[in-house]
Amino acid sequence: MKNTSLQYQIPQASWKLEICSPVIDILSKHVQHSRLAKESVGQLYAKELTTDIIRIEAATLLKPISARRTKVQFSPAQAMAERKNMHKQGFHCLGLWHSHPEPDPTPSYEDIQLAADYALAAKAQLNGIVFAILGTSPFPSGLTIWVHDGKMLTQAVPFSAATRKFDK
C-alpha cells in the first residue's frame, strides 16, 4: 500500500487521526490469517501532537511474553524502553495495536482495562490514547480504531477527506 493513508475521526472531535503508509504496511502484515496464528502487539507513534491531523508515522512490534490465538502479553518494561528510544528519535507514543482472531474486532474487557490504564498514565501528555485492533476481515476493513481518554473508550470512524463525509 504505497503512498496510502487511512483517516479516522472521533465523533464530535475537531481533529483527525491519519495512519500513514509505513504503519499500514506493518499492521497489514500482522493480521491473523489462520486459526493457528497467534496474536501480535505493538505500539503506535507520531512526531507531531498539536495539529488538526495527528499522523501515526511509525508502528513497532513488541516481543510477546506469551501469545496465543486469543491473547497476547508483553513486557511493560520492554514497551517503556522502546518508548524512550523512539522519543530520542522525535516520536511520541500514541498507543497500542494488537490483532484479534475475529473479522470485525471489538475490545475485550482486558483490552478496555489496558487502554484505560495507558490513558491514565499518559494523561499529563495526551488527552487520550489510540487503541487499534486488527481483525481478520481483509485489511483495512478489519481494522478498528479506538481512543480512550481515561474515562471511556470511543470508536473512531473512517473519514473520507475527499467527500468530507463519514464512511458508513
Residue spans per domain, the chain: 6-166
CB 105 within 8 A of CB 144: yes
Provide the pLDDT for residue 1: 44
Average pLDDT rounded to a whole number, residues 68-95 = 94
Q: How confident is the model at residue 14 (pLDDT cuts 50, 70, 90)?
A: confident
Burial profile 55-80: b = 16 or more Cβ within 10 angstroms, e = fewer: bbbbbbebebeebeeeebebeeeebe
CA distance 142 to 29: 13
pLDDT tens-place string over residues 15-60: 899 999 999 999 999 999 888 889 999 999 999 999 999 999 999 9
pLDDT tens-place string over residues 114-152: 899 988 988 888 888 999 999 999 999 999 999 999 999
Provide the pLDDT for residue 164: 39
Nearest to 117 by CA among 108, 105, 129, 127: 129
The pTM is what? Answer: 0.89
Domain 6-166 annotated CATH 1.10.3720.10: no
- Reply yes or no on whether the pLDDT at 112 is more than 80: yes
Provide the pLDDT for residue 2: 52
Provide the pLDDT for residue 166: 38
